[in-house]
Amino acid sequence: MNKVLVTGATGFVGRYLCEFLAKRGLTVVGVARSLPSKRETLDYALHAVGDISKGVDWEPIMSGVDCVVHLAARVHVRNEQERDPLTAFRQVNVAGTEQLLRSNGMRGVKRFIYLSTVKVHGDTNLERPFRANDTLEPLGPYARSKQEAERVVREIDEHNGLETVIIRPPLVYGPGVSGNFLRLMKMVDRGIPLPFALIDNSRSLASVTNLCDLIRECLVNPSAAGQQFLVSDNSDVATPELIRLIASAMHKPARLMPVPAAILTLTAKLVGRSAEMSRLIGSLQVDIEETMQTLNWRPPVSLADGIHATVTWYREQKADA
């Protein structure tokens, strides 16, 4: 494996992965819907291809490519504006994936890695952490579209012998993170009291470094072919503990207030933030023992070190602003 194409190359994970692989001597071709307005010197090629569901001439871009890592996707939208979100998710996540897999550019590709989501298993654990071979029970249009895309990947695998790998991460954090994790860091930094002292949950997280290291392993490890893997830091954390880790890395106090989970749930429902609150107070764990055994792989970055690196990035960005 010498040349890798990465879709979604300007996203949080995609940008990190392209740099991660290029620094390890691989020839990387990144593709994205559009090029960033701020041009930087990169260690890899970067191409704009537009909407991948509208038809892309992949052949010239994929010349000499051995492996594809497909990250491009329509992800959660905080304030969804689409009248039919499932159709919008399917257009990119299912149709876009299928068009790429069936394109002429795939003729020389040996391995295809698809980044799915742990949410194809569900939103919460009831009895034990999810395992990769558990029944899929996706909730919501995003998770349903990712499950359908997984099915497309498997069908292509069965019909043309392409080696495929599916990776299902939980929440991914690290330098460059946005969304809820960034908002949480900002609140801790501002000293805003957070009402989670009584929450006794357990959530799996994945450092972007650990995720990218697993992707690298899946590019080269023969045992990865045809498999699906869960990934995490292998060290689950409760929301209050996560806040304390962030605060400690910032050298600030963790301001936690004791509010019952039932009140948090009701309040979130009244203001239309039920899903967001569920991610903060519910449990969502994954069991990565099979991933580690199959690939003889271990997450190289601990949860504490991953949080520290993320906070360091956050403080640098704040200083430069």
CATH fold of the domain at 3-168: Rossmann fold (3.40.50)
pLDDT tens digits for range 68-116:
999 999 887 666 566 778 888 898 999 999 999 998 888 889 999 999 9
The answer to whether 67 and 219 have CB atoms below 8 angstroms apart is yes
The β-bridge partners of 91 are: none
Domain boundaries, the chain: 3-168
Residue 126: which residues within 8 A CB-CB, separation 6 or more?
A: none
CA 19 to chain CA centroid, Å, is 16
Asked about 142 being catalytic, the answer comes back as yes
Q: What is the distance between the alpha carbons of residues 199 and 307, in angstroms, rounded to a whole number?
A: 20
pTM: 0.94
pLDDT tens digits for range 175-219:
999 988 999 999 999 999 999 999 999 999 999 999 999 999 999
Residue 151: which residues within 8 A CB-CB, separation 6 or more?
A: none
The answer to whether 230 and 132 have CB atoms below 8 angstroms apart is yes
Q: Which of 114, 142, 173, 314 is catalytic?
A: 142
